[in-house]
């Protein structure tokens, strides 16, 4: 099985990397920061990150994994960690109630193994990315058995091979009106808030070595609804810890928007410090930068996106609680943002570090510079 997978998964050969490395030469507008020069202008973002005890990684779309060897060469060159954009979700793993299909997830594992990349699992419990049979068949009577079996089977399948699991994704939704700010999801309706306890304990049982992460979005800006979410996240993780739920880390997705107002830098570093003070690590798990509020001109957009990302990263990396950064894709060749938030002028968004020709953009340099400037962990 793995042999067959190996034949279809792009393996980065030395020659392939050398050929692609030629294209790694930074675009003129992207000065390579000192650290990167120190370790050679080919240094990828993860190489720069490791100098500060951090890591850099990205999400991998399964279609691009299969079809875009050039992009995957750059993923191998820039990253130390990868995560499946959809391949580890219920919808991909569970075609039917009785079946588990690890094909796509194992293809990512094979790519990661051959390129010595670590892998994080995303995600065991979410209100999206579920197969229709689950949404139709889940009841208060069968939910715990279904959830525990899924987690034991899936986490057990990858036991010892993943560094993190996003155990629960996006549990918060203060607008749903609950005092605990939990989102009204199929899991909450079936099991109540203890679905979180069940999930984290089941993950710990199946693979004690994989770090257990609670992952959510919307905690980045000086906006009332995001301030509420920051407070709700702190309250939730404090409550989980008080109930001896084995949570070990928080993932801040950081789907940024170049026109939104970042808070005073101290606000984000204090937020991360507050989470860290509970004994939890913090990861930036899905960073990209929406540019649909910016003018069409690519030089203007790229500069504004880079400046925004740099300010955000400087603010969160000021806290040693942040241990790593992942973007939600590496190149503008594909981003969920084009489906979810298409630009009115019809132009593709430019939210990621490499452009469609896999050249480093100002955003690449902003991430590199923020990593190089971060206090060592």
| Footprint of ligand G3I on 121-140 (CB under 6 A) | 128-129
| Footprint of ligand G3I on 200-239 (CB under 6 A) | none
Contact status: 21 vs ligand G3I (CB under 6 A)? no
The site that binds ligand G3I (CB under 6 A) totals a number of residues, namely: 9
Minimum CB separation of residue 329 from ligand G3I in Å reads 8
Q: ∠367-309-59 over CA atoms, to 5°? A: 65
Q: Which is nearer to ligand G3I, 20 or 102 (CB)?
A: 102
| Footprint of ligand G3I on 132-191 (CB under 6 A) | 169
Q: Which is nearer to ligand G3I, 101 or 176 (CB)?
A: 101
| Footprint of ligand G3I on 248-267 (CB under 6 A) | 253
How far apart CA 177 and CA 14 sit, in angstroms, is 55
Minimum CB separation of residue 253 from ligand G3I in Å reads 5
Minimum CB separation of residue 352 from ligand G3I in Å reads 12
Q: Which is nearer to ligand G3I, 20 or 312 (CB)?
A: 312
Q: Which is nearer to ligand G3I, 44 or 121 (CB)?
A: 121
| Footprint of ligand G3I on 330-359 (CB under 6 A) | 336
Q: Which is nearer to ligand G3I, 89 or 350 (CB)?
A: 89
CA separation (Å) from 66 to 12, 105, 232, 339?
Answer: 13, 12, 39, 21
CA separation (Å) from 269 to 309, 315, 328?
Answer: 15, 6, 22
Q: Which of 46, 68, 78, 85 binds ligand G3I (CB under 6 A)?
A: 85
Q: Which is nearer to ligand G3I, 33 or 131 (CB)?
A: 131
| Footprint of ligand G3I on 284-313 (CB under 6 A) | 286
Q: How far is CA 74 from the centre of its chain?
A: 17
Q: Which is nearer to ligand G3I, 36 or 349 (CB)?
A: 349
Four-point Cα dihedral 293, 295, 301, 305, nearest 10 = -20
Q: Which is nearer to ligand G3I, 58 or 269 (CB)?
A: 58
Stretch that binds ligand G3I, among 70-78, 82-90, 187-195, 364-372 (CB under 6 A): 82-90
Q: Which of 44, 75, 89, 274 binds ligand G3I (CB under 6 A)?
A: 89
- Binding positions for ligand G3I, rule: CB under 6 A: 85-86, 89, 128-129, 169, 253, 286, 336
């Amino acid at each position: 099985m793995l042999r067959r997978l190996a034949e279809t998964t792009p393996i980065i050969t030395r020659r392939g990397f050398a050929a692609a490395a030629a294209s790694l030469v930074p675009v003129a507008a992207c000065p390579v920061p000192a650290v990167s020069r120190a370790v050679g202008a080919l240094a990828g973002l993860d190489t720069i990150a490791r100098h500060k005890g951090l890591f850099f990684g990205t999400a991998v779309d399964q279609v691009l994994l299969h079809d875009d060897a050039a992009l995957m060469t750059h993923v191998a060159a820039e990253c130390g960690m990868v995560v499946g954009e959809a391949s580890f979700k219920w919808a991909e793993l569970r075609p039917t109630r009785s079946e588990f299909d690890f094909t796509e997830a194992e293809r990512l594992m094979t790519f990661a193994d051959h390129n010595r990349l670590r892998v994080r699992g995303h995600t065991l419990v979410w209100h999206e990315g579920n197969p229709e049979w689950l949404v139709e068949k889940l009841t208060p009577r069968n939910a715990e058995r279904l959830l525990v079996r899924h987690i034991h089977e899936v986490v057990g399948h990858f036991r010892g091979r993943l560094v993190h699991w996003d155990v629960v994704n996006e549990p918060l939704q203060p607008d749903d009106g609950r005092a605990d700010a939990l989102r009204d999801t199929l899991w909450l309706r079936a099991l109540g808030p203890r679905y979180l306890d069940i999930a984290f304990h089941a993950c710990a049982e199946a693979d004690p070595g994989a770090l257990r992460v609670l992952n959510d979005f919307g905690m980045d800006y000086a906006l009332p609804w995001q301030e509420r979410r920051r407070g709700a996240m702190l309250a939730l993780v404090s409550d989980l810890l008080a109930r001896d739920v084995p949570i070990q880390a928080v993932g801040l997705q950081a789907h940024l928007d170049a026109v939104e107002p970042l808070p005073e830098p101290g606000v984000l570093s204090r937020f991360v410090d507050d989470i860290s003070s509970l004994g939890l690590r913090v990861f930036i798990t899905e960073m990209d930068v929406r540019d649909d509020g910016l003018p069409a001109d690519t030089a203007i957009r790229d500069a504004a996106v880079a400046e925004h990302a740099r300010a955000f990263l400087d603010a969160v990396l000021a806290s040693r609680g942040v241990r790593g950064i992942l973007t939600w894709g590496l190149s503008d060749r594909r981003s969920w943002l084009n489906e979810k938030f298409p630009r009115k002028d019809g132009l593709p968004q430019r939210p990621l570090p490499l452009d469609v020709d896999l050249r480093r953009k100002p955003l690449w340099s902003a991430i590199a510079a923020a990593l190089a400037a971060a206090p060592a962990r």
